Protein backbone atom coordinates (compact mmCIF):
# COMPACT_ATOMS: atom_id res chain seq x y z
CA UNK A 1 0.00 0.00 0.00
CA UNK A 2 1.22 3.52 -0.73
CA UNK A 3 2.19 5.62 2.24
CA UNK A 4 -0.45 8.24 1.49
CA UNK A 5 -2.45 6.82 4.39
CA UNK A 6 -0.26 8.82 6.76
CA UNK A 7 -2.18 11.59 8.53
CA UNK A 8 -0.42 14.34 10.44
CA UNK A 9 -1.91 14.35 13.92
CA UNK A 10 -3.60 17.52 15.13
CA UNK A 11 -2.59 19.11 18.43
CA UNK A 12 -4.99 17.78 21.07
CA UNK A 13 -7.29 20.18 22.93
CA UNK A 14 -5.83 21.69 26.09
CA UNK A 15 -6.85 19.72 29.15
CA UNK A 16 -6.66 22.77 31.44
CA UNK A 17 -5.42 20.81 34.44
CA UNK A 18 -4.81 23.37 37.20
CA UNK A 19 -1.09 23.77 37.96
CA UNK A 20 0.12 22.27 41.21
CA UNK A 21 3.44 21.23 42.77
CA UNK A 22 1.69 18.37 44.58
CA UNK A 23 1.74 14.71 43.55
CA UNK A 24 0.54 11.36 44.82
CA UNK A 25 2.31 8.03 44.74
CA UNK A 26 0.25 5.92 42.34
CA UNK A 27 0.62 2.15 42.02
CA UNK A 28 -1.19 -0.21 39.68
CA UNK A 29 -2.17 -3.44 41.41
CA UNK A 30 -2.47 -6.57 39.30
CA UNK A 31 -5.43 -7.91 41.25
CA UNK A 32 -4.80 -11.47 39.89
CA UNK A 33 -8.18 -11.28 38.12
CA UNK A 34 -8.35 -12.70 34.61
CA UNK A 35 -11.45 -13.24 32.51
CA UNK A 36 -12.38 -14.40 29.02
CA UNK A 37 -15.78 -13.49 27.61
CA UNK A 38 -17.21 -13.21 24.07
CA UNK A 39 -16.26 -9.92 22.42
CA UNK A 40 -19.10 -9.55 19.90
CA UNK A 41 -21.89 -8.45 22.28
CA UNK A 42 -19.71 -5.64 23.61
CA UNK A 43 -17.45 -4.28 20.87
CA UNK A 44 -17.70 -4.31 17.08
CA UNK A 45 -16.55 -5.26 14.48
CA UNK A 46 -15.56 -8.93 14.85
CA UNK A 47 -11.88 -9.37 13.94
CA UNK A 48 -10.54 -12.72 12.77
CA UNK A 49 -8.75 -14.45 15.65
CA UNK A 50 -10.00 -12.08 18.34
CA UNK A 51 -13.34 -13.48 19.38
CA UNK A 52 -12.93 -12.86 23.11
CA UNK A 53 -12.39 -9.94 25.43
CA UNK A 54 -9.53 -11.15 27.62
CA UNK A 55 -7.94 -9.20 30.39
CA UNK A 56 -7.15 -8.31 33.98
CA UNK A 57 -9.07 -6.04 36.35
CA UNK A 58 -6.71 -3.43 37.73
CA UNK A 59 -6.89 -1.78 41.12
CA UNK A 60 -4.90 1.35 41.95
CA UNK A 61 -3.35 2.45 45.24
CA UNK A 62 -3.11 6.23 45.63
CA UNK A 63 -0.87 7.41 48.48
CA UNK A 64 -1.06 11.04 49.59
CA UNK A 65 1.62 12.51 51.89
CA UNK A 66 -0.87 13.88 54.44
CA UNK A 67 -3.90 11.59 54.11
CA UNK A 68 -4.63 7.89 54.36
CA UNK A 69 -4.12 5.99 51.09
CA UNK A 70 -7.16 5.28 48.94
CA UNK A 71 -7.91 2.55 46.41
CA UNK A 72 -9.47 3.08 43.01
CA UNK A 73 -11.40 -0.12 42.19
CA UNK A 74 -10.81 -3.58 43.68
CA UNK A 75 -10.90 -5.96 40.72
CA UNK A 76 -12.92 -9.18 41.06
CA UNK A 77 -13.55 -10.78 44.44
CA UNK A 78 -11.92 -14.17 45.01
CA UNK A 79 -15.25 -15.80 45.97
CA UNK A 80 -17.05 -14.47 42.90
CA UNK A 81 -19.26 -17.55 42.88
CA UNK A 82 -21.36 -15.95 45.68
CA UNK A 83 -22.47 -13.11 43.39
CA UNK A 84 -26.08 -13.21 42.14
CA UNK A 85 -24.92 -13.23 38.49
CA UNK A 86 -22.93 -16.46 38.95
CA UNK A 87 -25.56 -18.81 37.42
CA UNK A 88 -25.72 -16.63 34.30
CA UNK A 89 -21.92 -16.71 33.91
CA UNK A 90 -21.93 -20.49 34.17
CA UNK A 91 -24.67 -20.70 31.55
CA UNK A 92 -22.74 -18.39 29.21
CA UNK A 93 -19.49 -20.34 29.85
CA UNK A 94 -17.58 -17.23 30.86
CA UNK A 95 -14.06 -17.97 32.10
CA UNK A 96 -13.17 -16.13 35.33
CA UNK A 97 -10.09 -16.75 37.45
CA UNK A 98 -9.08 -14.91 40.63
CA UNK A 99 -6.20 -15.95 42.86
CA UNK A 100 -6.46 -13.31 45.60
CA UNK A 101 -8.56 -10.44 46.88
CA UNK A 102 -6.90 -7.04 46.62
CA UNK A 103 -6.94 -6.80 50.42
CA UNK A 104 -4.80 -9.95 50.58
CA UNK A 105 -2.29 -8.53 48.08
CA UNK A 106 -1.99 -5.38 50.17
CA UNK A 107 -1.47 -7.34 53.40
CA UNK A 108 1.21 -9.49 51.79
CA UNK A 109 3.08 -6.28 51.01
CA UNK A 110 2.95 -4.78 54.48
CA UNK A 111 -0.22 -2.66 54.31
CA UNK A 112 -2.15 -2.79 57.60
CA UNK A 113 -5.56 -3.28 55.99
CA UNK A 114 -7.23 -4.65 59.13
CA UNK A 115 -5.86 -1.75 61.16
CA UNK A 116 -7.60 0.79 58.94
CA UNK A 117 -4.62 1.87 56.84
CA UNK A 118 -6.84 2.41 53.77
CA UNK A 119 -8.98 5.51 54.10
CA UNK A 120 -11.40 4.83 51.28
CA UNK A 121 -12.28 2.59 48.36
CA UNK A 122 -13.35 4.51 45.26
CA UNK A 123 -15.49 2.53 42.85
CA UNK A 124 -15.31 3.55 39.20
CA UNK A 125 -18.78 1.99 38.88
CA UNK A 126 -20.97 -0.84 40.13
CA UNK A 127 -19.95 -3.78 37.93
CA UNK A 128 -18.77 -7.05 39.46
CA UNK A 129 -15.29 -6.93 37.90
CA UNK A 130 -14.46 -3.65 39.66
CA UNK A 131 -16.12 -3.68 43.09
CA UNK A 132 -14.18 -6.60 44.60
CA UNK A 133 -15.15 -7.41 48.19
CA UNK A 134 -15.24 -4.33 50.44
CA UNK A 135 -16.08 -6.63 53.38
CA UNK A 136 -12.38 -7.60 53.41
CA UNK A 137 -11.72 -4.06 54.69
CA UNK A 138 -12.77 -2.74 58.12
CA UNK A 139 -15.74 -0.39 58.58
CA UNK A 140 -13.35 2.55 58.97
CA UNK A 141 -12.62 2.30 55.23
CA UNK A 142 -15.20 4.45 53.45
CA UNK A 143 -16.77 3.68 50.11
CA UNK A 144 -16.80 6.51 47.54
CA UNK A 145 -19.10 6.37 44.50
CA UNK A 146 -20.03 8.60 41.59
CA UNK A 147 -23.02 10.84 40.79
CA UNK A 148 -26.39 9.10 40.88
CA UNK A 149 -24.95 5.81 42.14
CA UNK A 150 -27.08 5.33 45.26
CA UNK A 151 -30.44 5.85 43.61
CA UNK A 152 -29.53 3.58 40.71
CA UNK A 153 -27.76 0.69 42.45
CA UNK A 154 -28.77 0.45 46.12
CA UNK A 155 -29.74 -1.56 48.08
CA UNK A 156 -27.65 -4.64 47.37
CA UNK A 157 -28.52 -8.31 47.10
CA UNK A 158 -30.40 -10.10 48.65
CA UNK A 159 -32.54 -7.18 49.87
CA UNK A 160 -32.83 -6.13 46.24
CA UNK A 161 -33.11 -9.37 44.29
CA UNK A 162 -32.26 -7.59 41.03
CA UNK A 163 -29.04 -6.03 42.32
CA UNK A 164 -25.61 -7.19 41.13
CA UNK A 165 -24.04 -5.82 44.31
CA UNK A 166 -24.01 -7.40 47.76
CA UNK A 167 -25.48 -5.87 50.91
CA UNK A 168 -22.24 -6.87 52.64
CA UNK A 169 -20.41 -4.39 50.36
CA UNK A 170 -22.01 -1.52 52.28
CA UNK A 171 -22.76 -2.84 55.77
CA UNK A 172 -21.07 -0.93 58.58
CA UNK A 173 -19.30 1.64 56.45
CA UNK A 174 -19.95 5.15 55.20
CA UNK A 175 -20.95 5.33 51.54
CA UNK A 176 -20.20 8.75 50.14
CA UNK A 177 -21.61 9.78 46.77
CA UNK A 178 -19.53 12.54 45.17
CA UNK A 179 -21.43 15.16 43.22
CA UNK A 180 -18.46 15.79 40.92
CA UNK A 181 -19.99 18.79 39.19
CA UNK A 182 -21.28 20.42 42.38
CA UNK A 183 -18.43 19.61 44.75
CA UNK A 184 -15.94 20.33 41.99
CA UNK A 185 -17.41 23.86 41.76
CA UNK A 186 -17.65 23.66 37.99
CA UNK A 187 -14.04 22.60 37.40
CA UNK A 188 -13.51 20.83 34.09
CA UNK A 189 -10.46 18.85 33.01
CA UNK A 190 -10.65 18.10 29.34
CA UNK A 191 -14.36 17.79 28.64
CA UNK A 192 -15.13 16.16 31.99
CA UNK A 193 -16.36 17.68 35.23
CA UNK A 194 -13.66 17.17 37.85
CA UNK A 195 -13.40 17.00 41.65
CA UNK A 196 -10.10 17.69 43.42
CA UNK A 197 -10.13 14.75 45.84
CA UNK A 198 -7.40 15.88 48.26
CA UNK A 199 -7.88 19.58 47.58
CA UNK A 200 -4.31 20.19 46.39
CA UNK A 201 -4.27 19.27 42.69
CA UNK A 202 -2.66 15.84 43.18
CA UNK A 203 -5.64 13.58 42.39
CA UNK A 204 -8.93 14.19 40.63
CA UNK A 205 -12.14 12.26 40.09
CA UNK A 206 -13.66 12.79 36.64
CA UNK A 207 -17.34 12.41 35.81
CA UNK A 208 -17.24 10.01 32.81
CA UNK A 209 -20.82 8.89 32.11
CA UNK A 210 -22.26 6.50 29.55
CA UNK A 211 -21.07 3.02 30.43
CA UNK A 212 -23.10 2.98 33.64
CA UNK A 213 -24.81 5.39 36.02
CA UNK A 214 -22.23 6.91 38.35
CA UNK A 215 -19.13 5.98 36.32
CA UNK A 216 -16.05 7.98 37.33
CA UNK A 217 -12.37 7.91 36.39
CA UNK A 218 -9.28 8.89 38.34
CA UNK A 219 -6.48 11.26 37.30
CA UNK A 220 -3.31 11.17 39.40
CA UNK A 221 -0.48 13.69 39.09
CA UNK A 222 2.65 11.54 39.24
CA UNK A 223 5.29 14.23 38.66
CA UNK A 224 5.32 18.02 38.59
CA UNK A 225 7.59 20.38 36.68
CA UNK A 226 7.21 18.77 34.23
CA UNK A 227 3.78 17.32 34.85
CA UNK A 228 2.85 13.73 34.19
CA UNK A 229 -0.41 11.96 34.96
CA UNK A 230 -1.94 8.49 35.17
CA UNK A 231 -5.52 8.24 33.89
CA UNK A 232 -7.38 5.43 35.70
CA UNK A 233 -10.08 4.66 33.18
CA UNK A 234 -12.26 1.99 34.79
CA UNK A 235 -14.68 0.90 32.05
CA UNK A 236 -14.85 4.21 30.20
CA UNK A 237 -13.28 1.97 27.53
CA UNK A 238 -12.38 -1.73 27.49
CA UNK A 239 -9.79 -1.86 24.72
CA UNK A 240 -7.20 0.52 23.29
CA UNK A 241 -8.89 0.21 19.91
CA UNK A 242 -11.92 2.15 21.21
CA UNK A 243 -10.00 5.43 21.52
CA UNK A 244 -7.08 4.85 19.12
CA UNK A 245 -6.33 6.03 16.57
CA UNK A 246 -7.82 9.55 16.62
CA UNK A 247 -7.07 12.78 14.84
CA UNK A 248 -4.66 13.49 17.73
CA UNK A 249 -3.03 10.04 17.80
CA UNK A 250 -2.84 8.74 14.24
CA UNK A 251 -1.37 5.45 13.04
CA UNK A 252 2.33 6.17 12.45
CA UNK A 253 4.41 5.10 9.44
CA UNK A 254 6.31 2.65 11.64
CA UNK A 255 5.12 0.91 14.78
CA UNK A 256 7.87 0.49 17.37
CA UNK A 257 7.98 -1.78 19.22
CA UNK A 258 6.14 -4.06 16.85
CA UNK A 259 2.77 -5.11 18.27
CA UNK A 260 2.78 -8.07 15.87
CA UNK A 261 4.82 -10.89 17.37
CA UNK A 262 5.97 -12.31 14.04
CA UNK A 263 7.47 -8.97 13.02
CA UNK A 264 10.44 -8.36 15.28
CA UNK A 265 11.55 -4.85 16.18
CA UNK A 266 9.06 -2.79 14.21
CA UNK A 267 6.38 -3.14 11.56
CA UNK A 268 4.89 -0.79 8.98
CA UNK A 269 1.81 1.11 10.10
CA UNK A 270 -0.08 0.32 6.91
CA UNK A 271 -0.57 -3.26 8.13
CA UNK A 272 -2.87 -1.87 10.82
CA UNK A 273 -4.65 0.35 8.33
CA UNK A 274 -5.23 -2.60 5.98
CA UNK A 275 -7.57 -4.19 8.55
CA UNK A 276 -9.20 -0.95 9.69
CA UNK A 277 -13.01 -1.00 9.32
CA UNK A 278 -12.97 2.40 7.60
CA UNK A 279 -9.44 2.45 6.22
CA UNK A 280 -8.73 5.56 8.28
CA UNK A 281 -5.55 6.33 10.21
CA UNK A 282 -7.44 8.72 12.48
CA UNK A 283 -10.54 6.70 13.49
CA UNK A 284 -10.79 3.97 16.14
CA UNK A 285 -10.84 0.23 15.48
CA UNK A 286 -13.75 -0.60 17.79
CA UNK A 287 -17.19 0.76 18.60
CA UNK A 288 -19.32 0.11 21.68
CA UNK A 289 -22.56 -1.77 21.04
CA UNK A 290 -25.96 -0.48 22.17
CA UNK A 291 -26.32 -3.46 24.49
CA UNK A 292 -23.04 -2.77 26.29
CA UNK A 293 -23.57 0.84 27.30
CA UNK A 294 -26.13 2.32 29.67
CA UNK A 295 -26.34 5.18 27.16
CA UNK A 296 -24.38 4.63 23.95
CA UNK A 297 -24.54 8.25 22.78
CA UNK A 298 -23.04 9.49 26.04
CA UNK A 299 -20.57 6.58 26.19
CA UNK A 300 -19.31 7.54 22.72
CA UNK A 301 -18.94 11.14 23.93
CA UNK A 302 -16.86 9.95 26.88
CA UNK A 303 -14.69 7.75 24.64
CA UNK A 304 -14.04 10.75 22.40
CA UNK A 305 -12.87 12.55 25.54
CA UNK A 306 -10.45 9.72 26.31
CA UNK A 307 -8.91 10.31 22.88
CA UNK A 308 -8.30 13.95 23.82
CA UNK A 309 -6.35 12.89 26.93
CA UNK A 310 -4.53 10.20 24.94
CA UNK A 311 -3.22 12.86 22.57
CA UNK A 312 -1.06 14.23 25.39
CA UNK A 313 2.19 12.31 25.81
CA UNK A 314 2.36 13.16 29.50
CA UNK A 315 -0.83 11.20 30.27
CA UNK A 316 -0.68 7.40 30.67
CA UNK A 317 -4.07 5.93 29.78
CA UNK A 318 -4.79 2.78 31.78
CA UNK A 319 -8.17 1.16 31.33
CA UNK A 320 -9.03 -1.46 33.93
CA UNK A 321 -8.86 -4.39 31.50
CA UNK A 322 -5.82 -3.48 29.39
CA UNK A 323 -4.45 -6.91 28.55
CA UNK A 324 -1.57 -5.38 26.57
CA UNK A 325 -0.25 -3.77 29.76
CA UNK A 326 0.02 -6.87 31.89
CA UNK A 327 0.98 -10.03 29.99
CA UNK A 328 3.93 -9.39 29.88
CA UNK A 329 4.02 -6.28 32.14
CA UNK A 330 4.86 -3.02 30.38
CA UNK A 331 5.58 -1.02 33.55
CA UNK A 332 6.22 -1.56 37.25
CA UNK A 333 3.28 -2.97 39.16
CA UNK A 334 2.58 -2.75 42.90
CA UNK A 335 4.42 -2.79 45.27
CA UNK A 336 6.48 -0.51 43.01
CA UNK A 337 4.99 2.82 41.99
CA UNK A 338 4.03 4.14 38.57
CA UNK A 339 5.42 7.60 39.15
CA UNK A 340 8.40 7.18 36.83
CA UNK A 341 6.30 5.79 33.95
CA UNK A 342 7.03 8.74 31.67
CA UNK A 343 10.76 8.71 32.33
CA UNK A 344 10.86 4.99 31.50
CA UNK A 345 8.86 5.40 28.27
CA UNK A 346 5.94 3.21 29.33
CA UNK A 347 3.41 5.36 27.48
CA UNK A 348 5.13 5.12 24.11
CA UNK A 349 5.78 1.40 24.62
CA UNK A 350 2.15 0.65 25.45
CA UNK A 351 0.43 2.95 22.94
CA UNK A 352 -0.03 0.52 20.02
CA UNK A 353 0.42 -2.86 21.71
CA UNK A 354 -3.34 -3.47 21.57
CA UNK A 355 -2.84 -4.16 17.86
CA UNK A 356 -1.34 -7.52 18.82
CA UNK A 357 -4.96 -8.68 19.19
CA UNK A 358 -5.34 -8.29 15.42
CA UNK A 359 -2.34 -10.39 14.32
CA UNK A 360 -4.49 -13.15 12.83
CA UNK A 361 -6.65 -10.54 11.10
CA UNK A 362 -3.51 -9.02 9.53
CA UNK A 363 -2.38 -12.47 8.36
CA UNK A 364 -5.81 -13.19 6.90
CA UNK A 365 -5.82 -9.89 5.02
CA UNK A 366 -2.34 -10.55 3.61
CA UNK A 367 -3.62 -13.90 2.29
CA UNK A 368 -6.42 -12.07 0.50
CA UNK A 369 -9.14 -12.91 3.01
CA UNK A 370 -11.51 -10.78 5.05
CA UNK A 371 -10.03 -9.40 8.26
CA UNK A 372 -13.31 -8.60 10.04
CA UNK A 373 -17.08 -8.74 9.82
CA UNK A 374 -19.82 -6.68 11.42
CA UNK A 375 -21.78 -8.82 13.84
CA UNK A 376 -25.47 -8.93 14.74
CA UNK A 377 -25.05 -6.44 17.58
CA UNK A 378 -25.77 -2.83 16.58
Reported as a pLDDT band with limits 50, 70 and 90, residue 376 is: confident
Is it true that the peptide bond before 158 is cis, omega within 30 degrees of 0? yes
- pTM recorded for the entire structure: 0.96
Q: How far apart are CA 160 and CA 153, in angstroms?
A: 9
Q: Go through the domains of the chain in sequence order and give each one's CATH number.
A: 3-373 (3.60.15.10)
| pLDDT single digits (tens) 311-337 | 999 999 999 999 999 988 999 999 999
DSSP structure class, residue 16: -
Residues 239, 318, 296, 280: is their CA dihedral positive or negative?
Answer: negative
Let me know: does 75 contact 31? Beta carbons within 8 Å.
yes
Give the pLDDT score at 327. Answer: 83
Beta strands in 69-126 (DSSP E): 70-72, 95-98, 120-122
- Tell me how far apart the 2 most distant CA atoms of the chain are, in Å: 64
Q: Are 146 and 215 in contact (CB under 8 A)?
A: yes
Q: 289: pLDDT confidence band, cut at 50, 70 and 90?
A: very high
Residue 225: per-residue pLDDT: 92
Is a pLDDT exceeding 70 seen at residue 196?
yes
Q: Which pLDDT score, from 0 to 100, does residue 107 have?
A: 98
pLDDT at 206 exceeding the cut of 50: yes
Residue range 101-120, pLDDT digits in tens: 999 999 999 999 999 999 99
Rounded to the nearest integer, the mean pLDDT of the chain is: 95
Q: List strand residue ranges (DSSP E) for 146-211, in order.
A: 175-177, 188-189, 192-196, 203-207
- Whether the Cβ atoms of residue 268 and residue 352 lie closer than 8 Å to each other: no
Integer CA distances (angstroms), 101 to 8, 31, 107, 109, in order: 45, 7, 10, 13
Helix extents (H) in 17-148 = 86-92, 102-108, 128-131
Tell me what pLDDT residue 2 has: 40
At 5 the pLDDT is: 59
Res. 291 pLDDT band, cuts 50 70 90 = confident
Distance CA 222, CA 335 (A): 16
Task: For residue 132, count CB atoms less than 10 angstroms from its CB and return exposed for 0-12, middle for 13-18, buried for 19 or more.
Answer: buried
Check residue 1 and give its pLDDT: 42
Exposed, middle or buried by CB within 10 Å (0-12, 13-18, 19+), for 52?
Answer: middle
pLDDT, residue 378, reads: 67
Amino acid sequence: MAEDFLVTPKPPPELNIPPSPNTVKASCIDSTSRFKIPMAPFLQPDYVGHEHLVGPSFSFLIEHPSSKPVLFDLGIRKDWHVLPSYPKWVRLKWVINVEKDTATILKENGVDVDGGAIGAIIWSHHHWDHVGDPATFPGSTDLVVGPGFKAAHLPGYPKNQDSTLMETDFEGREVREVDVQGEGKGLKIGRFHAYDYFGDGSFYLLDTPGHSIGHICGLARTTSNPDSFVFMGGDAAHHGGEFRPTEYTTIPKELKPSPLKRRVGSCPGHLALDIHPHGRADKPFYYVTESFAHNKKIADWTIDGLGEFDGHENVLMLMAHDDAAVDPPQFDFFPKSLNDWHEKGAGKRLKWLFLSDFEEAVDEKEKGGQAFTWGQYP
